[in-house]
């Protein structure tokens, strides 16, 4: 038996997202790498690399893995082609419209809304057992230190849910070479935080331990406070990138009325690269008399960005974060 595969940290990369869902399919089929190699006819290293997240596997290898796991080969072939196109800088028509799993169920098959439940005795360790019903974020940029208060409602699909992961990415602004890069995360209500791994300099992970285990179908509300350290320079956007099912997101940004942004745009279902373009091609938004811009999103797709970005008029550093 070989070593277990290294966990994939989703960062919006289509290759990592492809590998993540391929691993999820293998987990559902309950196949070891050795069994998968036997069924596909490829070596263990080849099928392991296909789910490594470092590069997109070849089409024959990817579809062999899908077929061995009982997946929908046709839909996966379409998905592979979309990711391949997204990786081609010369592809016409701009970014590919990537549609990762889970896909819509066949017609006539009930998909449910809040009735999903894991099987009895479920022991799977990948992100599952819950989904996000709603996220509501109020971001204050009219204060000395940027601060966001975020309310989340999660729904348990597995009896005895005790904790959920919390992950926030704080990307650096272009040209920022400061040695330190941080984020303060604290619980306002609904649980306690445990320290998580710090795999990347700009990616912060925690584990929210719930006050009591949740039964399947039950909701839980928790609130977090996110604070950017003083004088830390950051990219001018706040975006929710669902890494698991997320049904609704509302964002309210309070700008400094004395220094309003030059332009504000809404981002809805965009690949990570588009977030940094500062010219998404959507209509410009304007702060109200309180300096506030708000946006709401539903039917969000895993791995894509939803939120607001802007151009600052101030000469100092833009101040924002990206929530996952």
- The parent domain of residue 161 ranges over 130-323
In this structure, is residue 102 part of a structural domain? no
Contact between 287 and 260 under an 8 Å Cβ cutoff? The reply is: yes
Specify whether 168 is located in the same domain as 236.
yes
Specify whether 81 is located in the same domain as 202.
no
Contact between 39 and 68 under an 8 Å Cβ cutoff? The reply is: yes
The CATH number given to whatever domain includes residue 149 is 2.60.40
Specify whether 60 is located in the same domain as 142.
no
Specify whether 197 is located in the same domain as 266.
yes
pLDDT score for 233:
72
In this structure, is residue 23 part of a structural domain? yes
pLDDT, tens only, 288-309: 888 999 999 998 998 899 999 9
pLDDT score for 189:
80
pLDDT score for 92:
59
In this structure, is residue 279 part of a structural domain? yes
Specify whether 297 is located in the same domain as 164.
yes
In this structure, is residue 98 part of a structural domain? no
As a whole number of angstroms, the distance between CA 105 and CA 111 comes to: 7
pTM of the complete model: 0.61
Among 86, 119, 148, the domain boundary falls at: 86
As a whole number of angstroms, the distance between CA 292 and CA 78 comes to: 41
Cα Rg, the chain, nearest whole Å: 21
Specify whether 161 is located in the same domain as 280.
yes
Specify whether 153 is located in the same domain as 279.
yes
Domain total of the chain: 2
Low-confidence stretches of the chain (pLDDT beneath 50): 1, 94, 105-114, 125-126, 315-322
User: For residue 14, what is the enclosing H or E element?
Assistant: helix 14-29
pLDDT score for 321:
47
For 112, phi then psi, to 5°, come to: 75, 165
pLDDT score for 152:
93
Chain-centroid distance of CA 263 in Å reads 25
As a whole number of angstroms, the distance between CA 205 and CA 200 comes to: 10
Specify whether 193 is located in the same domain as 51.
no
Ordered alpha helix ranges (H), the chain: 14-29, 33-40, 44-50, 59-68, 73-86, 272-275
pLDDT score for 119:
56
In this structure, is residue 138 part of a structural domain? yes
The CATH number given to whatever domain includes residue 76 is 1.10.260.40
In this structure, is residue 123 part of a structural domain? no
Specify whether 183 is located in the same domain as 306.
yes
pLDDT score for 4:
58
As a whole number of angstroms, the distance between CA 285 and CA 262 comes to: 10
In this structure, is residue 111 part of a structural domain? no
Helix (DSSP H) and strand (DSSP E) numbers for the chain: 6, 14
In this structure, is residue 106 part of a structural domain? no
């Amino acid at each position: 038996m070989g070593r277990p595969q290294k966990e994939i940290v989703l960062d919006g990369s289509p290759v990592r997202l492809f590998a993540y869902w391929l691993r999820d399919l293998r987990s559902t089929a309950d196949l070891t790498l050795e069994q998968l190699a036997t069924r596909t006819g490829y070596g263990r290293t080849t099928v392991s690399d296909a789910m490594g997240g470092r590069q997109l596997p070849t089409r024959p290898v990817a579809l062999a893995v899908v077929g061995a796991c009982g997946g929908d080969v046709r839909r996966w072939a379409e998905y592979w082609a979309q990711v391949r196109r997204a990786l081609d800088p010369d592809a016409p028509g701009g970014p590919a419209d990537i549609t990762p799993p889970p896909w819509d169920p066949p017609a006539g098959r009930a998909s449910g809304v809040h009735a999903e439940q894991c099987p009895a005795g479920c022991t799977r360790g990948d992100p599952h057992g819950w989904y996000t019903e709603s996220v509501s974020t109020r971001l204050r940029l009219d204060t000395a230190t940027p601060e966001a208060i975020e309310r989340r409602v999660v729904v348990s699909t597995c009896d005895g849910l005790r904790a959920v992961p919390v992950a926030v990415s704080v990307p650096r602004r272009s040209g920022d070479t400061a040695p330190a890069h941080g984020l303060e995360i604290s619980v306002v209500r609904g649980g306690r935080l445990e320290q998580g791994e710090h795999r990347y300099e700009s990616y912060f992970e925690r584990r929210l331990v719930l006050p009591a285990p949740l039964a399947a179908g039950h909701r839980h509300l928790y609130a977090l406070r996110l604070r950017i350290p003083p004088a830390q320079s950051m990219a001018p956007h706040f975006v929710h990138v669902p890494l698991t099912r997320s049904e609704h997101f509302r964002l309210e940004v309070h700008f400094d009325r004395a220094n309003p942004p030059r332009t504000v745009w809404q981002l809805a279902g965009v690949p990570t690269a588009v977030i940094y373009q500062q010219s998404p091609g959507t209509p410009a938004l304007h702060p109200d008399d309180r300096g506030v811009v708000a946006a709401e999103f539903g039917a969000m797709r895993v791995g894509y960005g939803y939120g607001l970005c802007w151009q600052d008029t101030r000469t100092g550093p833009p101040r924002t974060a990206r929530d996952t």
